[in-house]
Amino acid sequence: MLGLVQGITEFLPISSTAHLRLVPALLSWPDGGAAFAAVIQLGTLLAVIGYFLRDLGRMLAAVARPETRRSLDARMLLYIVAGTVPIGVAGLLARHAVEGPLRSIAVIASMLLVVGVAMGVVEKTARFDRLIEAITLRDAMIIGLAQALALVPGTSRSGITLVAAMILGFRRDAAARFSFLLSIPAVAAAGVFELPKLLHDREVGTTALVTGLAVAFVSGYLSVAWLLRYLRTRTTLVFVVYRVILGLFLLSAVISSNLP
């Protein structure tokens, strides 16, 4: 169940961490914790690598050959690495807060609303006239700084990077494409960092973990393919409405003491 939730929500701009926290809360299951959330993302990491395998191969090949090191493919790899630095630094500095108080339902609900409203405003004001080929190092760093905010559950890594890229004028599908590529090193680092802890503490059985990863891989791959196709012709307003409705519902549940 949690592997399916992770796979579907990791790439949609609705926050996978929030849903991995909310589903157990609504079903009266124990919270899997931030470590489990990070490790189960390895399934979706394999999904995005599989989907963009050809692109990643071109980037690595471009960097390896001197005559192509100034090409878009080579620069794109540089931009992905540079854009990952902010979330890496922020993750180390804010680790205890992310694993503790920031996982509260009130924080999740608030961030669902804040980013949802921001996305709605950007939908009405952005230009949407830049292709991914127009990306610069400055763009990558701005989007990378936005990605660091996704450490707060409810923000959504894909959601906040989409908002940042759309503010910079990128088309929705181009924004999503760079967002997915930018996720690769960040998700890999978080999952690898937390995996030894999860296995050592035996919080989750090996069979259950492998099953969750496999389901997350399949559903994540389908989610990437669907969203890229969807954003070529449609807006993000459906996700804005979903975030606002869910955020208001959760805030009301917290106020009425139905959720912790």
pTM above 0.75, yes or no: yes
Q: Count the alpha carbons within 13 Å of 98 in the hemisphere toward its beta carbon.
A: 22
Pairwise CA distance, residues 258 & 77, whole Å: 46
What is the mean predicted confidence (pLDDT) over 93-113? 87
24 vs 100, residue with greater confidence: 24
Residue 203 is predicted with a pLDDT of 63
Q: Helix H segments across the chain?
A: 2-9, 16-26, 33-51, 53-64, 72-93, 95-99, 105-125, 137-148, 157-167, 172-201, 206-231, 237-255
Q: The tokens of 250 are what?
A: 């959760």
DSSP code, position 153? T
Pairwise CA distance, residues 124 & 15, whole Å: 22
Each residue's pLDDT tens digit, 54-81: 999 999 999 999 999 999 999 999 999 9
Q: Which residues contact 159 (CB under 8 A, 6 or more apart)?
A: 13, 14, 15, 115, 119, 150, 239, 243
Each residue's pLDDT tens digit, 174-193: 999 999 999 999 989 888 88
Q: Does 215 score more than 80 pLDDT?
A: yes
* 8 phi, psi to nearest 5 deg: -75, -40
Each residue's pLDDT tens digit, 221-230: 999 999 999 9
Which residue pairs, CB below 8 angstroms and at least 24 apart, start in 196-200?
197/35, 198/35, 198/36, 198/39
> What is the band of 18 on the pLDDT scale with cuts at 50, 70, 90?
confident
Residue 212 identity (one-letter amino acid): G
DSSP code, position 128? -
What is the mean predicted confidence (pLDDT) over 224-247? 97
